[in-house]
Amino acid sequence: MQQLNPSEISEIIKKRIEQLDVSSKARNEGTIVSVSDGIVLIHGLAEVMYGEMIAFPNGIYGMALNLERDSVGVVVLGDYEGLAEGQTARCTSRILEVPVGSELLGRVVDGLGNTIDGKGSIKTTLTDAVEKVAPGVIERQSVDQPVQIGLKAIDAMVPIGRGQRELIIGDRQTGKSAIAIDAIINQKGTGIKCIYVAIGQKQSTVANVVRMLEEHGAMEHTIVVNAGAADSAAMQFLAPYAGCTMGEYFRDQGEDALIIYDDLTKQAWAYRQISLLLRRPPGREAYPGDIFYLHSRLLERASRVNSDYVEKFTDGEVKGQTGSLTALPVIETQAGDVSAFVPTNVISITDGQIFLETDLFNSGIRPAINAGLSVSRVGGAAQTKIIKKLGGGVRLALAQYRELAAFAQFASDLDDATRAQLEHGQRVTELMKQKQYSPMSVAQMAVSLYAANEGYLDDVELNKVGDFEAALLSYMGSEHSTLMDQINQSGAYSDEIAAQLKVGTEQFKATQSW
Amino acid sequence: MAESITIARPYTKAAFEIALEQDDLSGWSAMLSLASAIVSDQQMQFVLDNPAIGTRKQAQILINAHTENQPLSTQAENFVYLLAENKRLSLLTEISRLYEVMKANREKSVDISITSAFDLNHKQQANLTRALSARLSCNVNITSMTDSSLLGGVIVRSDDWVIDGSVRGKLSKLAEAITA
Q: Is the pLDDT of residue A101 over 80?
A: yes
pLDDT in tens, A390-409: 998 888 888 888 888 887 77
- CB < 8 Å to A43, chain B: 1-2, 5
The distance of Cα B31 from the centroid of its chain, to the nearest Å, equals 13
| Model pLDDT, residue A83 | 94
Integer Cα distance of A325 and A257 in angstroms: 5
Q: How far apart are the first and last CA of chain A?
A: 67
| Model pLDDT, residue A8 | 67
More confident residue, A410 or A38: A38
Q: Which residue of B has its CA nearest to A6?
A: B179
The reply to whether residue A22 touches residue B173, judged by beta carbons under 8 angstroms, is yes
The reply to whether residue B160 touches residue A41, judged by beta carbons under 8 angstroms, is no
Q: Which residue of B has its CA nearest to A46?
A: B160
Residue B131 contacts A, CB cutoff 8 Å = no
Q: Which residue of B has its CA nearest to A45?
A: B160
DSSP per-residue codes, A44-56: E-TTPPTTEEEE-
Residues A22 and B168: beta-carbon distance below 8 Å: no
DSSP per-residue codes, chain B: -HHHHHHHHHHHHHHHHHHHHHT-HHHHHHHHHHHHHHHHSHHHHHHHH-TTS-HHHHHHHHHHHHHHHS---HHHHHHHHHHHHTT-GGGHHHHHHHHHHHHHHHTTEEEEEEEESSPPPHHHHHHHHHHHHHHHTSEEEEEEEE-GGG-SSEEEEETTEEEE--HHHHHHHHHHHHH-
Q: Is the pLDDT of residue A5 over 70?
A: no
| Model pLDDT, residue A184 | 97
Tell me what the mean pLDDT of segment A149-161 comes to: 95
Q: Is the pLDDT of residue A7 over 70?
A: no
Integer Cα distance of B100 and B108 in angstroms: 12
Catalytic machinery residues of A:
377
Question: How far are the Cα atoms of A169, A391, A395, A440, A449 from residue A155, in angstroms, in the given order?
Answer: 17, 8, 12, 10, 11
pLDDT in tens, B115-158: 999 888 899 989 989 998 888 888 888 898 999 998 988 999 98
- CB < 8 Å to A71, chain B: 2-3
The chain A residues in contact with chain B (CB within 8 A) are 7, 13, 16-17, 19-20, 22, 24-31, 33, 41, 43-46, 59, 68-71, 90
Integer Cα distance of A194 and A108 in angstroms: 12
Q: Which of B115-150 are b and which e, b meaning 16 or more Cβ less than 10 Å from the residue's Cβ?
A: bbbeebeeeeeeebbeebbeeeeeebebeeeeeeeb
The reply to whether residue B164 touches residue A24, judged by beta carbons under 8 angstroms, is yes
Rg of chain B over Cα atoms, rounded to whole angstroms, equals 21
pLDDT in tens, B21-73: 999 999 999 999 999 999 999 999 998 888 899 999 999 998 999 988 888 88
Q: How many CA atoms lie within 13 A of A352 on its CB side?
A: 20
For residue A69, what pLDDT band results from cuts at 50, 70 and 90? confident
Rg of chain A over Cα atoms, rounded to whole angstroms, equals 26
| Model pLDDT, residue B158 | 86
Nearest to A456 by CA among A387, A505, A384: A505
Tell me what the mean pLDDT of segment A309-328 comes to: 95
Average pLDDT, chain A: 92
The reply to whether residue A27 touches residue B2, judged by beta carbons under 8 angstroms, is no
Task: Chain B: give the shortest CA distance to residue A97, in Å.
Answer: 16
Q: Which amino acid is at A41?
A: L
Tell me what the mean pLDDT of segment A127-156 comes to: 95
pLDDT in tens, A71-95: 999 999 988 888 999 999 999 999 9
**Residue A503 per-residue DSSP state:** H
Task: Chain B: give the shortest CA distance to residue A475, in Å.
Answer: 59
Rounded to 5°, the CA angle A133-A136-A140 comes to 125
| Model pLDDT, residue A149 | 95
Nearest to A262 by CA among A213, A347, A329, A212: A329
For residue A330, what pLDDT band results from cuts at 50, 70 and 90? very high
Task: Chain A: give the shortest CA distance to residue B140, in Å.
Answer: 16
Strand intervals (E) in A264-358: 304-305, 323-332, 352-356
A-B contacts (CB, under 8 Å): 58
Q: What percent of chain A has pLDDT over 70?
A: 98
The reply to whether residue A24 touches residue B176, judged by beta carbons under 8 angstroms, is no
* Contacts of A100 by beta carbon, 8 Å cutoff, 6+ apart: A124, A126, A127, A128, A245, A246, A248, A249
| Model pLDDT, residue A243 | 97
Residue A316 CB neighbour total at 10 angstroms:
9
The pTM assigned to this predicted structure is 0.88
- CB < 8 Å to A16, chain B: 177-178, 180
Tell me what the mean pLDDT of segment A468-483 comes to: 94
Lowest mean pLDDT among A23-27, A93-97, A186-190, A432-436: A23-27
Integer Cα distance of A15 and A20 in angstroms: 9
Residue B178 contacts A, CB cutoff 8 Å = yes
Residue A233 CB neighbour total at 10 angstroms:
23
Residue B101 contacts A, CB cutoff 8 Å = no
Residues A433 and A466: beta-carbon distance below 8 Å: yes
Q: Is the pLDDT of residue A114 over 60?
A: yes
Polymer length in residues for chain B: 180
Task: Chain B: give the shortest CA distance to residue A60, in Å.
Answer: 12
Tell me what the mean pLDDT of segment A108-128 comes to: 93
Determine whether A195 is exposed, middle or buried from the number of CB atoms within 10 Å of its CB (0-12, 13-18, 19+).
Answer: buried
Residues B36 and B93: beta-carbon distance below 8 Å: yes
For residue A266, what pLDDT band results from cuts at 50, 70 and 90? very high
Q: Which residue of A has its CA nearest to B4?
A: A70
Q: Which residue of A has its CA nearest to B180?
A: A7
| Model pLDDT, residue B136 | 85
Task: Chain B: give the shortest CA distance to residue A20, in Å.
Answer: 7
pLDDT in tens, A271-302: 999 999 999 999 999 999 999 999 999 999 99
Integer Cα distance of B88 and B15 in angstroms: 14
Q: Is the pLDDT of residue A304 over 80?
A: yes
The reply to whether residue A22 touches residue B174, judged by beta carbons under 8 angstroms, is yes
Query: Across the interface, which of A13, A27, A45 has its CB nearest the CB of B178?
Result: A13
The reply to whether residue B162 touches residue A20, judged by beta carbons under 8 angstroms, is no
Q: Which amino acid is at A60?
A: I
pLDDT in tens, A156-205: 999 999 999 999 999 999 999 999 999 999 999 999 999 999 999 999 99
Q: Is the pLDDT of residue B1 over 60?
A: no
